[in-house]
Structure 1
Amino acid sequence: MTIIGLVAVVLLINGVFMGQFLTTNFANSKDQERSLQKMAYKVSADLSLHREDIHYITAVAELLDAQDAAVLSLNSRFEDSLPPASGTQVPKLQAFDLFGKDKLEQVLQGGTFPSIYYDPQSGKRFLAVAVPQREKNTETINGVIILYQAQIALDYTQAYFQNLFVIAGVIGFLLTTLFAFFLSSRITQPLLQMKKAADFITLGEYKNRVPVTSSDEIGELAVAFNHMTGRLDETIHALNHQKEHLSSVLRSMTDAVITLDADGRLLLANPQGEKLVAEWSEIGWDQAGGDEGATVPQPLQPLFEEVVKGNKDMISNIHVRNNVYSVVMAPLYSPEGLRGTVAVLRNVTEEHRLDKLRKDFVANVSHELRTPLSMLQGYSEALLDDIAATPEERRELAQVIHDESLRMGRLVKDLLDLARMEAGHIELSFREFELEPLIQRVHRKFSALCKDRGLALKLEMPAEPITLYLADEDRLEQVLTNLLDNAVRHTPSGSWIGIGVSQAGGRKNEIVQIEIQDGGQGIPREDLPYIFERFYKADKARTRGPSGGTGLGLAIVKNIVDAHQGTISAESELGEGTTFTIKLPNKHV
């Protein structure tokens, strides 16, 4: 409304000035035209009476010159019939400069015409009137009288109007400039400040506020903008807090979380999920084309298709190489429909392995106990039924019952030892001792047994004595006993068994190496990774030799060696024998 009012005032002022000018100019022009026309008729009548009087004509010319006017007298052929006047200030104009021939001919017919002419030489504008000239005392027209006068009043009015218009323009410009500054301070500047604040908001500066400088609509807009910014700041802060909380939860989760869109592209994953996807992407899956980074990971493909197709949660176990993962996958929805899926993966390889070990353990223990129990039951029933007729037969049955009971006792003892070791409750007594007496003691223990079996027992010791600074002598003796017992049971008569001791680890000899070799039947290469598992022998054949091995010896050996921070490995070829190598760290404390 202010802008409209200002424009209206400016137009009103210009209209007033223009109206005054037109009114004044039109009135002056009409008055001068009527006055000049009357004067032309008067001059025409007088000239018709005094055409021959030179003094009269001169007097008329001087009188007209005093009023910036002049007269032309034309005959019927449009020739000037008056003698030229001398000493006049009004320039001598030609009749055809003022009027055209057609107009002059109409004047000869009795018409009257006005005309305005601008003289370029004098720079003046002249108002001219052409009237007919009649003969003396008759109505006969014999010529044309042209009277012209300078328009001095009109020029003055025009100059006055120009001055007024310039003044009005300057006033209008000043008012417009002042109003522009007013708009800049009252309207434009607050809007620019709001735009600047909006730019800061797009950059994440939600605490920026707009100063409120007025109580009008612009001020109310600034208040509403500040309120909106405050609420936006609170909302963004709450969202960031929730996002950080969710990110912290996802980062702290040991399970892998993977989010996929409806097309199977990876949207989001926690660090464990990213690591798992990266590991799977390095596997050369047997699939046709496709960008590994933009499609569903191959192990999740079947489960993903079932979840997308059925729109329901799915739980499954997947096997990737030697690992087992428990997967819970659920669909994600949006107002438009299915947006994708989220999968939570947990590595249950150890749980799967333990469950398998539990099942195998139950099966193996059941098998190991079934045989001696069956024999105990059978032979005891034979004794009760007096099947053995002689004392020798009864003694033989009792001996079998006694041997099987000893076998069951060894099995239970080994199971208890292994259970304590795997639970971390193994009791070790670390101390410093010489290794050679231990080796010699074990060698003597098996020398008689090997001689009875027809085996040669070899021993190789270094020239310098070896001292173990931190080891359990009794447990190491148990390790060597179990290994030599296995070697004796699996080596045929006429072959050999060897014990070798050496040091390695550079100049400081920080590793003690013990090797148990035999020339027995050997172990298949594909079975070597599993020989240290419980009841390994039971997995391959449900029979035991005459010595009644429990199948737990190598598992106990590995647990004892691991408790010493050492390693044990086996090398074997079928028909060529087996070598067990024990490496124990031996740093001086």
Structure 2
Amino acid sequence: MNKKIKWFQSIHFKIPMLFIFLLLVSLQIIGAYFIRQLETELINNFDNQMSLNVRFLENSLNPILEDEDQDTTESLIQNILRDYIGGEFLEIQVVDDQGYILGTNDQTRQSIVGLKSTDRDVQQALLLESSRKYQYLDEDKNSRVLKNVSPIFSPSNSGEIIGIVMMESNIETVYSQIRDVVTIFLNASFFAIIITIILAVIISRGITKPISEMRSQTMNIAQGDYSGKVRIYGDDELGQLADTINDLSLKVKDAQETTESERQRLDSVLKHMSDGVLATDRRGKVIIINNRALELLGMKQEEAVGKSIMKVLKLGTEFTFRHLLETREELILHIPEEEEKEESILQGEFSIIQRETGFISGLVCVLSDITKQEKVEQERRNFVSNVSHELRTPLTSVKSYTEALQEGVWKDEEIAPGFLQVISTETDRMIRMVTDLLHLSRMDQGNMQVEMEYVSMNDLFTHILDRFDMMMQSEAYREKNYKIVRDFTQRTLWVEIDQDKITQVIDNILNNAIKYSPDGGSVTCRLMETHNSVVLSVTDEGMGIPRKDLNHIFERFYRVDKARARSMGGTGLGLAISKEVLALHGGRIWATSVENKGSTFFISLPYESFDDEEEWG
């Protein structure tokens, strides 16, 4: 793949940056050391010069301060200080041993002569008889000042302080010189960097040009083009590398042609296989998968290749890759349900890819779809189990009551009729179940015959409900106070149906609604039309159907409340038969329900509206 290199990742950028970085580091080290040494040297020189001036003043002032003539002292001191006006000398003050100012070189401050000094450094030097020297920033002038306060000791009386010399000098000139030097150094560094960049770009081009050509050729080789050659610029390492790439191009071309022919044969075999095939590397990553395997697993090529076979087959934590390598058994894989797609059941057979040395380099898995076989087998087992269970209950009752009659209960005129009634009821239940099973069997085999005729659904539904109204007046239902509510469209709806079979479906739904309705409950029956269907609905006020059971109630032998359904004589086949009957008519049946509030069953039949005149004209 021709991946675009970002500008900051290119050698054209890295080589100049390397030179610049090395130069900057060198200049930083050299500049920091040089400027620091220069600054130290200039400040020390300035400090030494000022110290010499202070000592010179001390020597000049010693005989004057020893003289007790006050008027002569001040004039002599003032004459000496005139030599220190201007230059680096900002202010020089001479103070006697009592702290009074005897003279200053600042001509604008002659008024302070004769006053007592308020300078803390002067007072501290008189008190401690020690000198002080430091720098501070003059905020008014925004410049740095070197302040030197030194005591003057009497030469005749050792240790006796006779005055103070306070000198403030402008050291900012030294820092100005340092800044000038730094500016010169930075300008020189800038020009050095520019020259370095130019040289680095020239050098990088000389290196990267043959590398770029080699990269282009290797990319062509990767894309299957082996015709080009890399130009050799010299006999150095890059030249030898270019010659090696040219030789490699020829060898890869031969190997590629051999591999391509083998791959085409393998792809042809995999493509036409009816089973799914996956192959992994030694770490369990899928490297080959055919279209049939992708179809069975419901995946795309990019979702499977490079992924672990454990994730592709959705094995979870139940198995490990080592287990797949060691197993010799077939595994049954259940692929979870997806939207509008049922769960798939696959059979996986695994075999290892092993070299002659014994090294295991991967695994091959062959997948077969056994969903239909498993479904048929499961339905067969469920059917046998359900039929056996449903028939066993009434047969057990018949056998028990028959044995009781054989033992003499038939002689009891009060008990015997009840026993015979139970036997008759259970026999009728078995007959209904067998009849329902025969109906379903005919439907499954496609042998169920339907006699279609145009019927008014309004009249048919009314007739069925009238019959149930009469049944509600019978002795068995009189105390329950059931009520059937009708809500029909005023338009007469003619539908082509098998009247007997549709009547059986509606009877079954109404019977269920009445069975599960509470005493005094209402059963609401509606008849309506849509643009292409006639819809019947039956709503009860019973216990309702749980959400988890709602999608299964049309399955054979499925009961929401098994104990109550059997006690009411149900076989668990009525709704399944209703679904099959409606399928024969091109219709459908479904239900909605709210627990503890009731259920509604809907029947939809195909319907085409026509006028009587058009039909009979």
Shorter-chain TM-score range: 0.5 to 0.7
Report the identity percentage: 28
Partner of residue 305 from structure 1, selected from 317, 321, 330: 321
CA shift for structure 1 position 411: 0.8
The answer as to whether partners of 1:307 and 1:329 remain within 8 angstroms in 2 is: no
Partner of residue 519 from structure 1, selected from 541, 557, 561: 541
2:513 matches 1:487 = yes
Question: What corresponds to 1:426 in structure 2?
Answer: 448
Residues 407-422 of structure 1 mapped to structure 2, 5 A cutoff: 407-422=429-444
Question: What corresponds to 2:5 in structure 1?
Answer: none
Question: CA offsets per residue over residues 297-320 of structure 1, 9 Å max, x none?
Answer: 42146556145541x533111233
Partner of residue 294 from structure 2, selected from 270, 274, 279: 274
The answer as to whether partners of 1:333 and 1:340 remain within 8 angstroms in 2 is: yes
2:573 matches 1:552 = yes
CA shift for structure 1 position 462: 1.0
Hey, what's the Cα distance between the residues in 2 that align with 1:429 and 1:293?
A: 60
Partner of residue 260 from structure 1, selected from 280, 287, 298: 280
Residues 104-503 of structure 1 mapped to structure 2, 5 A cutoff: 242-243=265-266, 245-250=268-273, 253=274, 255-277=275-297, 279=299, 293-298=306-311, 299-300=314-315, 303=319, 305-306=321-322, 308-310=324-326, 312-322=327-337, 323=343, 324-335=345-356, 337-452=359-474, 453=477, 454-469=481-496, 471-503=497-529
Question: What corresponds to 1:18 in structure 2?
Answer: none
Return the letter of the residue paired with 2:493.
I
The 1:563/1:280 distance shift into structure 2, 3 A limit, reads: farther
CA shift for structure 1 position 277: 4.6
Secondary structure class of the residue paired with 2:307:
coil
Question: What corresponds to 1:44 in structure 2?
Answer: none
The answer as to whether partners of 2:271 and 2:290 remain within 8 angstroms in 1 is: no
Question: What corresponds to 1:214 in structure 2?
Answer: none
Return the letter of the residue paired with 1:305.
F
CA shift for structure 1 position 240: 8.0
Question: CA offsets per residue over residues 52-110 of structure 1, 9 Å max, x none?
Answer: xxxxxxxxxxxxxxxxxxxxxxxxxxxxxxxxxxxxxxxxxxxxxxxxxxxxxxxxxxx
CA shift for structure 1 position 243: 4.2
The 1:427/1:258 distance shift into structure 2, 3 A limit, reads: farther
Hey, what's the Cα distance between the residues in 1 that align with 2:457 and 2:536?
A: 10
After TM superposition, the structure 1 stretch with the greater mean CA deviation from structure 2, 564-573 or 298-307, is 298-307
Deviating 4+ runs (over 6 angstroms): 234-238, 280-283
Return the letter of the residue paired with 1:513.
V
Partner of residue 532 from structure 1, selected from 532, 551, 554: 554
Question: CA offsets per residue over residues 178-234 of structure 1, 9 Å max, x none?
Answer: xxxxxxxxxxxxxxxxxxxxx9xx989xxxxxxxxxxxxxxxxxxxxxxxxxxx9x9
The answer as to whether partners of 2:310 and 2:321 remain within 8 angstroms in 1 is: no
Query: Runs of 5+ in structure 1 lacking a partner?
Result: 1-198, 205-231, 284-290
Secondary structure class of the residue paired with 1:532:
coil
The 1:502/1:238 distance shift into structure 2, 3 A limit, reads: same
After TM superposition, the structure 1 stretch with the greater mean CA deviation from structure 2, 545-554 or 234-243, is 234-243
Question: CA offsets per residue over residues 450-473 of structure 1, 9 Å max, x none?
Answer: 34422111222211111224x332
Return the letter of the residue paired with 1:456.
K
After TM superposition, the structure 1 stretch with the greater mean CA deviation from structure 2, 569-578 or 381-390, is 381-390
Secondary structure class of the residue paired with 2:272:
helix
Hey, what's the Cα distance between the residues in 2 that align with 1:554 and 1:535?
A: 9
Secondary structure class of the residue paired with 1:391:
coil
Query: Runs of 5+ in structure 2 lacking a partner?
Result: 1-220, 227-254, 338-342, 611-617
Question: CA offsets per residue over residues 432-451 of structure 1, 9 Å max, x none?
Answer: 33222221222123222334
Hey, what's the Cα distance between the residues in 2 that align with 1:281 and 1:442?
A: 58
The answer as to whether partners of 2:333 and 2:346 remain within 8 angstroms in 1 is: yes
Question: What corresponds to 2:595 in structure 1?
Answer: 574
Question: CA offsets per residue over residues 508-547 of structure 1, 9 Å max, x none?
Answer: x21211111111111112211111111212x743454554
Secondary structure class of the residue paired with 1:500:
strand
Question: What corresponds to 2:213 in structure 1?
Answer: none
Hey, what's the Cα distance between the residues in 2 that align with 1:478 and 1:497?
A: 18
Count of aligned pairs: 347
Secondary structure class of the residue paired with 1:530:
coil
The 1:246/1:580 distance shift into structure 2, 3 A limit, reads: same
The 1:578/1:308 distance shift into structure 2, 3 A limit, reads: closer
What is the TM-score of this pair, normalised by structure 2? Answer: 0.50
Return the letter of the residue paired with 1:462.
T
The answer as to whether partners of 2:294 and 2:300 remain within 8 angstroms in 1 is: no
What is the TM-score of this pair, normalised by structure 1? Answer: 0.52
CA shift for structure 1 position 237: 11
Question: What corresponds to 1:101 in structure 2?
Answer: none
Hey, what's the Cα distance between the residues in 2 that align with 1:512 and 1:300?
A: 48
Hey, what's the Cα distance between the residues in 1 that align with 2:365 and 2:586?
A: 39
The answer as to whether partners of 1:277 and 1:297 remain within 8 angstroms in 2 is: no
CA shift for structure 1 position 420: 2.6
The 1:263/1:365 distance shift into structure 2, 3 A limit, reads: same
Secondary structure class of the residue paired with 2:463:
helix
Hey, what's the Cα distance between the residues in 1 that align with 2:608 and 2:280?
A: 53
Hey, what's the Cα distance between the residues in 2 that align with 1:583 and 1:398?
A: 42
The answer as to whether partners of 1:523 and 1:574 remain within 8 angstroms in 2 is: yes
Return the letter of the residue paired with 1:492.
P
Hey, what's the Cα distance between the residues in 2 that align with 1:303 and 1:281?
A: 24
Return the letter of the residue paired with 1:482.
N
Q: Larger C-alpha radius of gyration, 1 or 2?
A: 1
Question: What corresponds to 2:72 in structure 1?
Answer: none
Question: What corresponds to 1:5 in structure 2?
Answer: none
After TM superposition, the structure 1 stretch with the greater mean CA deviation from structure 2, 541-550 or 234-243, is 234-243
